[in-house]
Amino acid sequence: MKIFISHSSKNANYGQAIVDLLVAIGVNSEQIIFTSNDAFGIPTGQNIFNWLKAKITEKPHVVYLLSTAYYSSIACLNEMGAAWVVENEHTMIFTPEFNISSYEFQNGALDPREMGFKINNHDRVVELIETLRRTFPISTNAVLVGQKIREFIEKVNSFQVPNESLPINKSNVEEPKALNEWKKSTAQKIYNNFSILEQQFFKSMINKSGVFEAQRVPPSSIKTFIEKDIIVNTENGLKLTELGRSIWMETIFIS
């Protein structure tokens, strides 16, 4: 398994700090994917998108380095969508200025109820390392690991924080174009992979308000969306959540 650091190039300093920490505590450099550093990025001569797609489908542990810049980048949102579809193990890390109440985060693909943490939270960084230890060759030298974590926290705290922390509310600003385009393109790709029966089933759920009373067990593809809170089970049947409706209702296949 590898660790893929999904990030905006504007946050490359934070991403490099994560890479430096991982290498310092024992993770092999060949197990890290970080496209802002040639030593950990895309090999010369490779098609960028095909290479990234192949790496994501290998199911690495994805570290989402989330920021305002991340949600403003179509490339970042495409990475997020690709990893979300194949259900990669992941960790959400927020840059210090990022507001988790922002409209982008609360209405994006990642579950905002899932626990993430600010990159300069010492205790959470320790917890992440212990999680990675189950899969990666983390040093057993507690003193060394502790020193490297402290150095990491000092480094990220030294970075200048941009003024990006103001909350974004749907009521006073339009949804960022990149996020909206990601929703549409990802929804269309997923929908195109459905069988005819699954397409009919899913369109019925989206076009109906309230609960859709299924006459049969939902197709296998639908179960994925149940697990991701796009669709929820109720006493009377299946119901599309507001998150699900917001993602799919504007795509071109809805009449």
Per-residue confidence at 67, pLDDT binned at 50, 70, 90? Answer: very high
Between 96 and 164, the higher pLDDT residue = 96
pLDDT of residue 27: 95
Mean pLDDT, range 119-135, rounded to an integer:
95
Domains in the chain with CATH codes: 3-158 (3.40.50), 194-248 (no CATH)
> CB within 8 A of 171, min separation 6: which ones?
none
> Rounded mean pLDDT of 57-83?
85
Contact of 148 with 21, CB cutoff 8 Å: yes
Give mean pLDDT, residues 193-210.
Answer: 60
pLDDT score recorded for residue 181:
60
Backbone angles phi, psi at 250, to 5 degrees: -95, 0
Of 7-11, 204-208, 237-241, least confident by mean pLDDT is 204-208
| pLDDT at res. 57 | 76
Under the banding of pLDDT at 50, 70 and 90, the label for residue 10 is very high
Tens of pLDDT, residues 164-201: 444 444 443 444 555 556 555 666 666 666 666 666 66
CA distance 221 to 93: 29
pLDDT for residue 168: 42
Which of 79, 213, 235, 242 is an active site residue? 79
What's the pLDDT at 73? 86
pLDDT of residue 249: 52
State residue 173's pLDDT score: 41
Contact (CB, 8 A) for 161 and 96: yes
Residue 166 pLDDT:
40
**CA distance to 6, 175, 197, per residue, from 80 (Å):** 8, 17, 28
Given pLDDT bands bounded at 50, 70 and 90, which one contains residue 72? Answer: confident
pLDDT reported for residue 244? 61
- Whether 79 is catalytic is yes
Residue 242 has pLDDT above 50, yes or no: yes
Region 15-26 average pLDDT: 97
Mean pLDDT in residue range 109-132 = 92
All residues at 6 or more sequence positions from 208 whose CB lies less than 8 Å from its CB, including other chains: none
Q: What is the pLDDT of residue 243?
A: 58
Range name among 47-56, 107-116, 174-183 with the lowest pLDDT average = 174-183
Which pLDDT score is estimated for 218?
Answer: 55
pTM for this predicted structure: 0.63
Strands 238-240 and 231-233: antiparallel
| Mean pLDDT confidence for 148-153 | 97
